[in-house]
Structure 1
Amino acid sequence: MSENTDHLQRSSLPIPDLAYTGTVTYDATSPDTHYPPISPVKPPADAPNVLVILIDDCGFGATSAFGGPVHTPNFERVAAQGIKYSRFHTTALCSPTRAALLSGRNHHTVGMGGITEIATSAPGYNSLRPNNCAPLAETLKLNGYNTAQFGKCHEVPVWESSAVGPFGHWPTPGNGFEYFYGFIGGETNQWYPAIYENTSPIEPWGTPEQGYHFMADMTEKAVNWTKQQKSLAPDTPFFTYFAPGATHAPHHVPAEWADKYAGKFDQGWDTIRNETFARQLDLGVVPKDAVLTERNEGIPSWDEMDDAIKPTLARQMEVYAGYLEYADHHVGLLLDALEELGELDDTLIYLIIGDNGASAEGTMTGTTNEGFTINHMEDIETDEYKIAHKDDLGTPRSYNHYAIGWAHAMDTPYQWTKQVASHWGGTRNGTIVSWPNGIAARGEVRDQFAHVIDVAPTVLQAAGIPEPHTVNGVTQRPYEGIPMNYSFDDAEAPEQHTTQYFEMLGNRAIFHLGWTAVAKHKDPWLASSHGLDEDVWELYNVEEDWTQSNDLAAQHPEKLAELQRLFLIQAARFNVLPMDTRSAERFNGELVGRPALVKGTSQTFYPGMKRMSENSVVNIKNKSFTVTAQVTLPEGGGNGVLIAQGGAYGGWSFYLNSGAPAFAYNLGGVAIEYTRAGAALAAGEHELRAHFAYDGGGLGKGGTITLFDGDAKLAEGRITRTLPFFFSMDETVDIGSDLASPVSDDYEATGNEFTGNLTWLRLDAGDDDHTHLADPNHLMQIAMTRQ
């Protein structure tokens, strides 16, 4: 451990500048002129570099490091230099785990009781980290560390997630990172990502055909940043937060990586669970007397699946496995760079393999495109459709997610999956800690209980930096995590994190002194159907029952009552109350007190505006709408996109093709319907309009599209069916071009910029809105699928 021997006052940040109190002379050449040299703020001597790697949506039983079927040699490489933690826990969901990790406080303490899209005004659920909970990166930066974040950020409140901010909850400047390269939100297309550099949207350097993939891109950025940092400031340690989109859906990976696993999953998820459990016993990441839990009610066995779809189901897992190994490979490239720089031994590495359990958000038979599930298009994505598009999985032609049975297998040996905070399958993630210069142990396993809130205090203790009392003038709430340093070199040290609550969407639990009391409120794929008081509590002695396989509630009612009472005490203490299992109400921002970025039914855009998410623009689904563009066309005719929303997996575009106006509606990538004018327009000023008259009568209905030049009608066409809930999980509204994957086949992914002059463009939504007919339970499913 580093020690603070420089006598700097580090408890109040920023470290105050001390005024010179010596003699001031008249002449700088006087022999009595003495000023101390400038001493930049540096961390304590011997403070290590810190690298936190957070893999997304990866269960305890996925990687070979913890007995899983996916080959992860670089994760094992980190473990060989350090120690595995077999009882490390997350919150069961994305945004909450990340907020807790970066703050050292419980997720409700920092306002992240759920994902940002369902925030309310309640303190535990508003998605706003209070300023009395300064993030770890800010503390390290103010103590002289260089800080950078790469990859996913899903902690920005939805009303602050546009290119105009405010940026107080973005990685930079609000969360203490000096540099950010990644995406904002729950997921992004790995072939066509929506990237920000700091706070500016930028485009990938190439297309999939040119070899682009975001995992490789963000790794290269991280390597280059690290090399530059060590070149220019070799004595300054860094804090790097490396959070890839892998292995969250979409499971996008170059085909050769998925093909490495051809035939490896034909035996199905039940056999894979048994094989994984045997390896886990051999590795010692579960004890010899551990019991493999039973498959949960509602999850089908492999034998129950139709033989015709089994090859497609197996391919889903091959693609996922390739994606995970691909992520492991790029983590290895980052490790190689540290080794090349001579920094690997002096870097404290936290490799947290999953921000929650494996995701059960992919339906019972998986999906080729999450948009089908979101938009209730099950009639299109039949089993026959999935079978026919098996070879699209993982490629730019898909937006895929594996079946629920695979998620359960990837959480071996535990019950349940992501979202289920009541059971270890949702919250227990394999974690590896390495620091060769600071930890003597090599290749060992630690069984002490730990939680993601323990990371921040562990890092500060390793660096010799005190937990700050005040930051930027605000008195700080103490860290709620427990430093894990005590266990680094002592496998037998009594565990110090002895009490921890869990809660997510009503699924809740309490761990205390070797016991857990748990109550599962809902399955990940179902909505809340009953009151919290109707939940059935279970009780487990986790010292004797590692996997929560033997419910003792009936045998020990007094212990269960004791723990239920303790849960309520902790819930009151950490802003968990009132627990919120509502569906429809949480999507009405006015009702729950959540600000809206865009209000009204009309919005005007200007050239250069791009990468606007769906919550940043007027909603035109399930209603009529009009697009009006004031343009000047050059001699020879104009071409290119005026406005596009979404991409190749769903969306619409208004553009000029060979000088003639055209409108394309993309129905989830299944079909594209075009309305095209018959002739090119003359040079000069034009007011172009596309008016969609919605048929009405429910959600996702069709309508008539009419194109105008001023008052002159140019063309009319039909849109048979529309997307009722979402155009795209991550693709955006772009003015003057169609970024990322193209909505229309009339133009390519690049080179589709409008060649004329666009003065302004206005989007007007009609007053015939049918969205009130939406099923509130399905709206909640949409939000949870996005995270």
Structure 2
Amino acid sequence: METKRGSEERSDLNVIYIVLDDVGYSALGCYGSEIETPHINSLARSGLRYNNFNVTPLCSPTRACLLTGRNCHSVGMGMIADVDWGPEYPNKRGRISDSAATLAEILKMNEMATFMVGKWHLVPGHEAASSGPFTNWPLSKGFDRCYGFLLAKTDQYEPDLIYDNHRVQKPGMPHYHLSEDLVNRSLEFLTDHISVTPDRPFFLYLAFGAQHEPHQVPKDYIEKYKGVYDIGWDQIRKERFNRQKEMGIVPPDTKLVERNPGIKAWDELTTKEKDLFIKFQQTYAGFLTHTDQQIGRVLDFLKSKNKLENTIIVLLSDNGGSQEGGWNGSINDAAYFNGIEENVDEMFEHIDEIGGPYSNANYPKGWAQSCNTPFKYYKQNTFFGGTHVPLIIQCPQHISDPGEIRSQFYHAIDITPTILDLLNIDAPKVFKGVKQLPLHGVSMLNTFTDPYAPSKRKTQYFEMLGHRAIWEDGWVAVTYHERGVPFAEDHWELYHVNQDFSQNDNLAEKFPKKLKELQLKWWEEAEKYNVLPLNDNPYTNRFDGLQEGRTMFTFYPGMAHLPTTAAPSINHSSYSITISIFRSDPSEEGVLLAHGSHSSGYTFYIKDNYLIYEYNYAGTVYKIQSSIQMPIGFSIVRFDFKAEGFIRGTGKLSINEDEAGALYMDPTLPFMISSEGLDIGRDRLTAVSANYPVKEFPFSGHIFKAVIELYDAQVKRKILKKRKRDSIHIRINGKNFWG
């Protein structure tokens, strides 16, 4: 299939996309931050900074836009990829439609080498298992090689890694960190390529896990920012804003918006709150500086191999700063996703662990808004705090005035059309026998040489979990949607962002006709790009498990780590775990089955000749140790949980059908067992229990099989589905959820 333009010669330019995660508009040094990002700043000096660039306010949708040049809902990625919302929501299937070939697929057809390293997050969660199917893994979406992780996030010290189409353990290097590993692999792929095929151009898609939580980085990087954040988030926002004006990265008449609702003034915080929150922000800053150093390694490599001058580099963030740390920040990633607000006093006891391997740190909302200076709100929201991000493009052969700022409005869907324009390649109309959607994006290439070129983009809609917005010719209509409130009752705001860069002055009352015009336009765009039907419930289908209707799961020793998105969902169900084993002597012990991490989960193991079950409720541990010792020889061990309410019940241990202990468990986790997965015969990655004597604590006896059975799951699912349909309000640990 011919996709080259007529007789034009194909460009010999290489392409690198560098995607940062949860990096708000002001986080980089070249966008006004005090955080040291010298290598990213060097890209800005030799390229262009865009100050009016937008993405979707969530990870997977932006990545789908970026790689396809189409709007996320149109290609089936209107939400994070982890959950396939089913055929009733074709805009949220968790995979890129075959009607939208990725940039990698197009470039591969045009004889370019293609490499993907880092975060993918474009595969439904149940397909992230090592058994596949692999049709939505990177190698099936146009990449020759890949190395990284499949889902939203992973631990920076103990990542769940894939290499091409299989899972691998992390390299056994001292002082391991994922960002360093990702760059090591990138340079390995590029070295192999240019050593043997130096004249063949390449595409590298390098998507860091940084700055997504967990914020984890060596202590030296955290200490580098000691004292910097003692002045607090209010002052940091002001200082960043002033630098942004000095740099020209915001217009001179821009106003700094007020604190977001619910954020306290820094001076109102207690000393303990300040100390804890400072440590969170030091960690984020150190993490970003560490990431910048890894980007520097890529740039140094390109320079040393004489590839920098003919390589297009695009650096951006997938969305704004994240609100997922809550009001107080977080050291436990299970807390946010289970509606648990972490206590400052309890977190303070672990302040020295923040940034290290035993803390899944995320900063509080006050720092998230600072990250998004000068805007309001955060990731997930369709105000500029969620969508307005840094974009730097370096292209020495085409940029006439490096170091300048461009102010045309563009969107993530416009990047790939720009690259195709630069490379003299047309997107195919049919790919592998499938008719292709037209590109929704437009080329930004004219901005490379003309700072005053009008934007070719005239309209762009936004939608995320019911939050909605539309930009058209310098006006924005936007609504912050309260979950459970009918969409027709949403309160819309209006901003003339060509004159009010930060969305500070709501003009809805002054220009009601303009607001109505934009609202109607939003519905037109929503119909055009498959945004409908709307749904504001992020937990849709999470209760259903990822094997609809299946109630029994049999696992065998030697199985690869099973991601949590593909593991049995035991929430809201009575269940049993039955494991048949053989032990030749009393010293044989270890983990039989474990699902989770140090933050949350459950583990079933033998230690000191006793059978033990532990359930980690976001730091609170329920433990049952058998009242009798384990016999030698063949045994069947079992844990039964009888649900006795929405998030409570009784657990019982038995050995060869003899009851060996019981415990009432209230509460249990309502939504997510863990962000880490399930293992048989060992506890890979981070340990659920602090009581293991060795890493992974592999079982030294023999496991025949492990069977997990869900008993009343269908009843529970029907109840929860009814709650979803009827929008019944439930409240857990002080947080509101809508079913």
TM range (shorter): over 0.9
Matched residue, 1:442: 402
Which of 292, 310, 321 is 1:358 aligned to?
Answer: 321
Query: Is 1:730 aligned to residue 723 of structure 2?
Result: no
Distance verdict in 2 for CA 1:176–1:677, change over 3 Å:
farther
Which of 140, 143, 151 is 2:107 aligned to?
Answer: 140
Which of 533, 542, 546 is 2:488 aligned to?
Answer: 533
In the TM superposition, what is the alpha-carbon distance from 1:406 to its structure 2 partner?
0.7
In the TM superposition, what is the alpha-carbon distance from 1:259 to its structure 2 partner?
1.0
Secondary structure at 2:312 match in 1 = strand
**In 2, Cα distance between the equivalents of 1:301 and 1:730?**
32
Query: Is 1:675 aligned to residue 612 of structure 2?
Result: no
Matched residue, 1:289: 253
Q: Which structure would you say has the larger Rg?
A: 1
Check conservation: 1:56, 1:246, Cα contact below 8 A.
yes
Distance verdict in 2 for CA 1:640–1:479, change over 3 Å:
same
**In 1, Cα distance between the equivalents of 2:304 and 2:704?**
52
Matched residue, 1:51: 16
AA aligned opposite 1:559? K
Q: Percent identity?
A: 34
Which of 701, 710, 729 is 1:765 aligned to?
Answer: 710
1:776-787 matched pairs, under 5 angstroms: none
Unaligned runs of 5+ in 2: none
Q: Return 252-261 or 717-726, whichever deviates more.
A: 717-726
Check conservation: 2:82, 2:121, Cα contact below 8 A.
no
Which of 483, 493, 505 is 2:465 aligned to?
Answer: 505
In the TM superposition, what is the alpha-carbon distance from 1:721 to its structure 2 partner?
4.5
Secondary structure at 2:272 match in 1 = coil
Distance verdict in 2 for CA 1:464–1:278, change over 3 Å:
same
1:201-240 matched pairs, under 5 angstroms: 201-206=167-172, 210-240=174-204
In the TM superposition, what is the alpha-carbon distance from 1:136 to its structure 2 partner?
0.8
Which of 617, 620, 628 is 2:578 aligned to?
Answer: 628
Matched residue, 1:35: none
Distance verdict in 2 for CA 1:588–1:656, change over 3 Å:
closer
**In 2, Cα distance between the equivalents of 1:368 and 1:425?**
23
**In 2, Cα distance between the equivalents of 1:618 and 1:751?**
21
Check conservation: 2:20, 2:208, Cα contact below 8 A.
yes
Distance verdict in 2 for CA 1:44–1:149, change over 3 Å:
farther
Matched residue, 2:161: 195
In the TM superposition, what is the alpha-carbon distance from 1:193 to its structure 2 partner?
1.1
Query: Is 1:374 aligned to residue 337 of structure 2?
Result: yes
Matched residue, 2:300: 336
AA aligned opposite 2:517? E
1:508-519 matched pairs, under 5 angstroms: 508-519=468-479
Check conservation: 2:648, 2:665, Cα contact below 8 A.
no
In the TM superposition, what is the alpha-carbon distance from 1:231 to its structure 2 partner?
0.9
The count of corresponding residues between Structure 1 and Structure 2 is 727
Distance verdict in 2 for CA 1:388–1:437, change over 3 Å:
same
AA aligned opposite 2:285? A
Q: Return 231-240 or 690-699, whichever deviates more.
A: 690-699
Secondary structure at 1:257 match in 2 = helix
Secondary structure at 2:596 match in 1 = strand
AA aligned opposite 2:684? L
Which of 426, 430, 434 is 1:474 aligned to?
Answer: 434
Matched residue, 2:568: 618
Check conservation: 1:631, 1:757, Cα contact below 8 A.
yes
Secondary structure at 1:747 match in 2 = coil
AA aligned opposite 1:649? S
Q: Return 367-376 or 320-329, whichever deviates more.
A: 367-376
After superposition, the C-alpha distances for 1:510-566 in whole angstroms (9 at most, x for unaligned) are: 2112222222223xxxxx142222222222222222222222222222322222222
Matched residue, 1:9: 2
Matched residue, 1:390: 351
Distance verdict in 2 for CA 1:755–1:390, change over 3 Å:
same
Check conservation: 1:86, 1:431, Cα contact below 8 A.
yes
Which of 619, 633, 640 is 1:692 aligned to?
Answer: 640
**In 2, Cα distance between the equivalents of 1:574 and 1:312?**
44
Query: Is 1:408 aligned to residue 369 of structure 2?
Result: yes
Secondary structure at 2:75 match in 1 = coil
Secondary structure at 2:62 match in 1 = helix
In the TM superposition, what is the alpha-carbon distance from 1:377 to its structure 2 partner?
4.4
Unaligned runs of 5+ in 1: 1-7, 16-42, 523-527, 590-594
Distance verdict in 2 for CA 1:145–1:341, change over 3 Å:
same
AA aligned opposite 2:635? E
**In 1, Cα distance between the equivalents of 2:194 and 2:664?**
56
**In 2, Cα distance between the equivalents of 1:563 and 1:770?**
42
Matched residue, 2:388: 428
Matched residue, 1:126: 93
Q: Return 464-473 or 255-264, whichever deviates more.
A: 464-473
Distance verdict in 2 for CA 1:419–1:782, change over 3 Å:
farther
AA aligned opposite 1:739? R
Distance verdict in 2 for CA 1:727–1:493, change over 3 Å:
closer
Matched residue, 2:288: 324
Secondary structure at 1:308 match in 2 = helix
After superposition, the C-alpha distances for 1:374-420 in whole angstroms (9 at most, x for unaligned) are: 33444xx3221122221121111211211111111110011211111
**In 1, Cα distance between the equivalents of 2:676 and 2:602?**
11
Check conservation: 1:290, 1:545, Cα contact below 8 A.
yes
Distance verdict in 2 for CA 1:749–1:58, change over 3 Å:
farther
TM-score, normalization by structure 2: 0.92
Check conservation: 2:406, 2:447, Cα contact below 8 A.
yes
Q: Return 725-734 or 500-509, whichever deviates more.
A: 725-734
1:639-654 matched pairs, under 5 angstroms: 639-654=589-604
AA aligned opposite 1:696? E
After superposition, the C-alpha distances for 1:317-338 in whole angstroms (9 at most, x for unaligned) are: 1111111111111111111111
Matched residue, 1:567: 522
**In 1, Cα distance between the equivalents of 2:18 and 2:683?**
33
Q: Return 381-390 or 444-453, whichever deviates more.
A: 381-390
Matched residue, 1:23: none
Which of 508, 533, 537 is 1:578 aligned to?
Answer: 533
Check conservation: 2:576, 2:710, Cα contact below 8 A.
yes
In the TM superposition, what is the alpha-carbon distance from 1:624 to its structure 2 partner?
4.1
Check conservation: 1:11, 1:470, Cα contact below 8 A.
no
In the TM superposition, what is the alpha-carbon distance from 1:151 to its structure 2 partner?
1.1
Matched residue, 2:44: 79
Query: Is 1:171 aligned to residue 138 of structure 2?
Result: yes
Secondary structure at 2:595 match in 1 = strand
In the TM superposition, what is the alpha-carbon distance from 1:105 to its structure 2 partner?
0.1
Check conservation: 2:729, 2:736, Cα contact below 8 A.
no
**In 2, Cα distance between the equivalents of 1:754 and 1:298?**
48
**In 1, Cα distance between the equivalents of 2:187 and 2:664?**
47
**In 2, Cα distance between the equivalents of 1:393 and 1:766?**
39
In the TM superposition, what is the alpha-carbon distance from 1:728 to its structure 2 partner?
5.0
Secondary structure at 1:156 match in 2 = coil
**In 1, Cα distance between the equivalents of 2:610 and 2:480?**
57
In the TM superposition, what is the alpha-carbon distance from 1:693 to its structure 2 partner?
4.1
After superposition, the C-alpha distances for 1:77-109 in whole angstroms (9 at most, x for unaligned) are: 111111101111101111111111111000111
Q: Return 636-645 or 463-472, whichever deviates more.
A: 636-645
Matched residue, 1:245: 209
In the TM superposition, what is the alpha-carbon distance from 1:300 to its structure 2 partner?
2.3
After superposition, the C-alpha distances for 1:16-43 in whole angstroms (9 at most, x for unaligned) are: xxxxxxxxxxxxxxxxxxxxxxxxxxx9
Distance verdict in 2 for CA 1:246–1:401, change over 3 Å:
same
RMSD: 2.8
Matched residue, 1:5: none
Secondary structure at 2:194 match in 1 = helix
Q: Return 249-258 or 758-767, whichever deviates more.
A: 758-767
Check conservation: 2:582, 2:701, Cα contact below 8 A.
yes
Distance verdict in 2 for CA 1:556–1:697, change over 3 Å:
closer
Check conservation: 2:484, 2:536, Cα contact below 8 A.
no
AA aligned opposite 2:686? S
Distance verdict in 2 for CA 1:729–1:324, change over 3 Å:
farther
